[in-house]
Amino acid sequence: MSAVALAPWFEAAPPFVPCEFRIKWAHGAWEHDQARRLRRAVFCVEQGVFAGDDTDTIDATAQLLVAVACVGGLPDQVVGTVRIHEEFPGRWWGSRLAVHAAFRHHGRIGATLIRLAVGSAHALGCGTFLAHVQSQNVPMFEKLHWTGLDDVILHGRAHRLMQADLAAYPPCADPYAGHVAASRGRP
């Protein structure tokens, strides 16, 4: 069969979608580097919340979590991230939740990142887990057993201070293994 005859078949092929995502604590320079690039793409370029870079003092002590797209069972690309930190004993915060635009409708990546963030903090003695959530994301957090505490303006944008219901988040004792989210395959 000629290349011309095969051309329509190749053009009709759907875009590639990884079959699973590993959500875990970041380990290794490449995961940290790709997570920081993703944060800049989402918060600086796409949303315009920060000019040039979103790094702050919390990054020095925060634990970075990543969602890694897997191809053939092997890690390929960081497609989601969030960070957690302990403000003082027992009081934890989550921040900078970001999912690559091309993967926002695949396998509940954001929800699974939240589940691991709260569950791993819970395993480390968390008594209160808080986050400032952008207003458009409040419904998702409410579905995930979070309660709104206060409306605030951060970085010129409406946010809601929210608290996770720790009873809905069992402790995760092995955050480097984390969780697997299966893709729903919607490109």
Say which CATH superfamily domain 16-182 falls into.
Answer: Gcn5-related N-acetyltransferase (GNAT) (3.40.630.30)
Compute CA distances 20 → 3, 6, 100, 104, whole Å: 33, 30, 15, 13
Residue 157: CB atoms within 10 A of its CB come to: 14
Pairing mode, if any, of strands 63-71 and 179-182? unpaired
Q: Quote the pLDDT of residue 1.
A: 46
pLDDT digits (tens, 9 = 90+) for 64-117: 999 999 887 777 899 999 999 999 999 999 999 999 998 888 768 999 999 999
pLDDT digits (tens, 9 = 90+) for 41-66: 999 999 999 998 999 999 999 999 99
| DSSP state letter for 186 | -
Q: Establish how many alpha carbons lie within 13 A of residue 141's alpha carbon, considering only the half-sphere containing its beta carbon.
A: 27
The one-letter amino acid at 43: F
| Structural domain spans, the chain | 16-182
pLDDT digits (tens, 9 = 90+) for 116-158: 999 999 999 999 999 999 999 999 999 999 999 999 999 999 9
Whole-model pTM: value is: 0.87
